[in-house]
Structure 1
Amino acid sequence: MGDSTLKSPPSMVEGKLDMEQLQIKDFTAESSILEQPSTLFPKITGKIGDLVKDYNYTLYKLREETGTDTSPTAQNLDTILKLIGTVKLHGAHADIVIHSDNTMQLQSRNVTGLSREKDLYNIAKSILPLEAEVLDLKKRYRERFMELNPGVEIKEEFSTIIAGEWIGPGIQKGVAISDLPRKYFVILSVSINNAWLPNEPYADIHNEAVGIYNISRGGFYHEELVFNDVKRSREKLHAHTLAVEKECPFAKTFGISGVGEGIVWKAEHPLGSDARFWLKTKGLQHQVTNTEKLKNKPGGTELENAKNFAEAAVTVNRLEQGWAYLEEMGIERDMKGIGAFMKWVIHDVEVEERTEIEEMLINQALLKKTMTAMCKSWYMKRLDQM
């Protein structure tokens, strides 16, 4: 990581972002490219196409700042991104947000203020009593950060975020980590100065004695995303992912054999400090979409295409996520909750499948109408099973 006081944007080398000169500042809230910072953990794309598009757009904006004329849709086919992967755990996401005065705030993916009274999985009940241990983790991360980045100031206006996964019995089904003897908090990523740190240099920071583990326990994966051979890159990532699904490396360290969920890939730093350049790959049992398989199929009518897309995007796994969202938000799962359920599922599809929707020219009005009918039918059947 470089000097955060650098004022100029990163230089270009043969049409690519110069990784050696790219600075953290260019991917923090100070950059004109990004939105205002949020403590909520970012949504990670499951689409290589989205990552490539974000990379190309970022390059376009940086070139625009330097006065170099280019198109935001230009393909930088000579680009090779080095990716570093860690095991994706199927639990309940939870973050520990530590403010400058060392007060702690717990949050889930959707709820910014978990408490003993408002907490579906009793995360707060387990983590809040560990204040001294959590503050020690903050201290160790900051000390390591200063060692690795001499001369870089830690900006107190940005909270330290220890993002993790709450795993163990009673949280999820069908994965090996559900057979752990108790619930654990696993550190996935840490943010300092509103930028996510690389995992490997901080792999030894944890406190297993109190149930706080580091995702590094499951090992690291190294691959490349080659822009001019995305198909081959996807195959390599998929091979690693299927191996994790067959045997979860994280659970295996506890002597437990069984199914894993997938892998989270992050671009090599400093680019990886921005979650837009992360990618999640899931095993077949945990995929929430099959829309990419439609790309090579012959086109039909607008209605037929919208119906086929909806059937590929609104999978049982995605519907179950929407069902779980209602429980997390305290929304009664009855007929009054059907609106919130449909809104969540449809929005999730529109966000995660945006590239495919555009590329396949899917009529969004027809798609939304079809998805609404599918969600209503599934929800009604789910209510009957209660």
Structure 2
Amino acid sequence: MPVIAMEVKKAEQHPNADSLRVYSAIAPGYEETQIVANLENIYEVGDIVAIALSNSILKDGTKIKPSKLRGIQSFGMALGKIVEPIGSDLSDRYCQKNIEKSVLLQKWPSIELLHNVRRNLAIAEKTPKVIYRAKIKLDGTNGGIQIFTDGRIAVQSRSRIITSTSDNAGFAHWVTQNIDFFAKLVGEEHLILFGEWCGKGIQKRTSISQIDRKIFVIFALQYGGRDGKSARLEIDPERISAVIPPHPDIFVLPFFGEPIVLDFGDREQLEKASDRLNQMVEEVERCDPWVKETFGIEGLGEGVVMYPQTDTLVEGISYAELLFKAKGEKHQVIKVKKAVHIDPEVAQNVEEFVELFVTEVRLEQALTEACAGELDMKKMGAFLKWVTADIQKESVAELESAQLTWKDVGKAVMNTARQWYQEKVKLL
């Protein structure tokens, strides 16, 4: 079914929900259609609205089906006010052109700590000099927007393709509401906008959560990467800004500070550079400079992500293997003395390993990622799976330094995480 320009004939408050409204929309040649919608956009009688009718499939993959919301039937989705004549078919603008073609998740890489980058380079017998640029690490939720050459648009979180009906903090719904903007970016190459969906109501810890709305902050673009074609990454803020038209809720994250050279063949130089990076992280944690400059809000920052300059890449080593992050003390998922260090922490026993890795920050992150922030005993299995997989992935160097194996620590990690989750549920 299509997306049609329809006129609002009736607009009423939902009788069973303060946060919902009930609309009746009409257009020549179509039956009068009842829609239940939230208060993000409020329509009045006479407004012309894009209505996605039942069985249409939007560009972000959302399948529109009849549903009952708090006892009232809804037969479509309102996508926003428009200026087109009543009855106009807007399917080319809002709907997928080729729904049979699958949409595959293209993940932003998992970013290591510096000592893990150094270890991986040593295993590969590489000791390069790499020029890095820092960007502020924003406390939100990772998001991506895939823009296909055929006009389709797909939305993703860090771990899955999302839609307006299976969303992540409202990101897919927001993309759908701004589908015309993203349609302008369709080109000859597959394009992915990687960024952080952050702001009001997404996280609570840092100054970015104190702004008055949700925003999408782009930190990288990826070109290609489909149909056997190699991917090309763009991290330079000026070149990204040249591609992205102005939008009040879309920002391009700038570089922070000056370039830093890391010589992985010179331990003394690495230690001096690490001291400089730790000073940078402390500065950001005291007050996020980008949030202060952009929104006038002073407050806690999370840390930095270090991006290698693309002209200093290492043969045989992927770009992702050179990326690393450094978080301030209040955001560290590993309980370390300094944000940036070139050697792994050494745990003396299993108990110290658990204390090192099963931190409050990591457990809160697992609750967000695995359970969508919802404490429910039915979701504890997914929570424990996420925690153990995350720690197992990140702790290879620490296990080696402690002369331990995952078999030695896995049970203790799971028991500690389980106890934390159960205690949180009891407090509900």
What is the CA–CA distance in structure 1 between the aligned matches of 2:403 and 2:337, rounded to whole Å?
A: 13
Secondary structure class of the residue paired with 1:209: coil
Written as runs of structure 1 = structure 2, the 5 A alignment for 1:287-302 is 287-290=332-335, 300=348
Higher-RCO chain (CA-CA 8 Å, sequence separation at least 6): 1
1:201-280 to 2 correspondence within 5 Å?
201-205=238-242, 206-216=244-254, 219-227=256-264, 228-229=266-267, 230-252=270-292, 253-270=294-311, 271=313, 274-280=319-325
Indicate the RMSD between aligned Cα atoms, in angstroms: 2.6
What one-letter code is carried by the residue in structure 2 that aligns with 1:123?
A: F
Query: How far apart are 1:166 and its partner, in Å?
Result: 0.8
Q: Which residue pairs with 1:285 in the alignment?
A: 330
Query: Alignment partner for residue 52 of structure 1, among 92, 109, 118?
Result: 118
The answer as to whether partners of 2:137 and 2:304 remain within 8 angstroms in 1 is: yes
Q: 289-298 vs 175-184, which deviates more? A: 289-298
Q: Hey, which of these two has a bigger chunk of helix by percent? A: 1
Match of 2:107 in 1: 40
| SS of equivalent to 1:204 | helix
Paired with 1:297 and 1:198, the residues of 2 have a C-alpha distance of 31
In structure 1, the partner of 2:354 is 310
Structure 2 unaligned regions, length at least 5: 1-103, 225-230
Offset from partner CA, 1:68-109 (integer Å, 9 cap, x none): xxxx4x463xx3211011111101111001122121000001
Structure 2 residue aligned with 1:320, among 351, 355, 364? Answer: 364
**More off after superposition, 279-288 vs 194-203:** 194-203
Asked whether the 8 Å contact 2:346–2:401 carries over to 1, the reply is no
Q: Aligned partners of 2:204 and 2:132: how far apart in 1?
A: 29
Q: Distance in 2 between matches of 1:382 and 1:84?
A: 39
SS at match of 2:388: helix
For 1:121, the equivalent position in structure 2 comes to: 169
Check the 8 A contact 1:86/1:221 in 2, yes or no. Answer: no
* Larger fraction in strand: 2
The correspondence for 1:341, drawn from 383, 395, 400, is 383
CA distance in 2, matches of 1:137, 1:130: 12
1:263 counterpart letter in structure 2: V
Answer whether contact 1:291 1:313 (CA < 8 A) is retained: no
Which residue of the partner structure matches residue 192 of structure 1? 223
TM-score normalised by length of structure 2: 0.66
CA offsets 1:344-380 (integer angstroms, 9 cap, x no match)? 1111011112222223221321210110110111111
Query: Is the alpha carbon distance of 1:108 and 1:221 closer, same or farther for their aligned partners in structure 2, counting shifts above 3 Å?
Result: farther
C-alpha change, 1:263 and 1:53, in structure 2 (3 Å) is same
Distance of 1:176 and 1:90 partners within structure 2:
9
Alpha-carbon distance in structure 2 between the residues aligned to 1:298 and 1:184:
40
Q: Which has the larger radius of gyration?
A: 2
* Alignment-mate amino acid for residue 224 of structure 1: V
2:193–2:218 Cα contact (<8 Å) kept = yes
Structure 2 Cα separation of the partners of residues 324 and 243 of structure 1: 27
User: Take 1:352 and 1:298, find their aligned partners in 2: how far apart are those partners?
Assistant: 14
| Equivalent of residue 81 in structure 1, options 130, 137, 142 | 130
The answer for the alignment partner of 2:145 in structure 1 is 96
Separation (CA, whole Å) in 2 of partners of 1:119 and 1:373: 30
Mapped partners of 2:118, 2:280: distance in 1: 20
- Give the SS at the match of 1:351: helix
Deviation of 1:280 (Å): 0.8
Q: What SS is found at the alignment partner of 1:242?
A: helix
Residues in 1 aligned to 2:279 and 2:291: alpha-carbon distance in whole angstroms: 19
Structure 1 unaligned blocks of 5 or more: 1-36, 58-71, 140-153
Please show how residues 9-48 of structure 1 align to structure 2 within 5 Å: 39-45=106-112, 47-48=113-114
1:180: how far off?
1.1
Q: How far off its partner does 1:55 sit?
A: 3.3
Post-superposition Cα deviations, 1:112-141, rounded to whole Å, max 9, x if no partner, equal 2x11111131112211232232233455xx
Percent sequence identity is 28
Equivalent residues, number: 307
> Is 1:262–1:282's contact at 8 Å kept on the other side of the alignment?
yes
Aligned-pair CA distance for 1:221: 4.2
TM-score between the two structures when normalised by the length of structure 1? 0.73
Q: Deviations over 1:30-82 (max 9, x none)?
A: xxxxxxx961211111x21221233345xxxxxxxxxxxxxx4x463xx3211
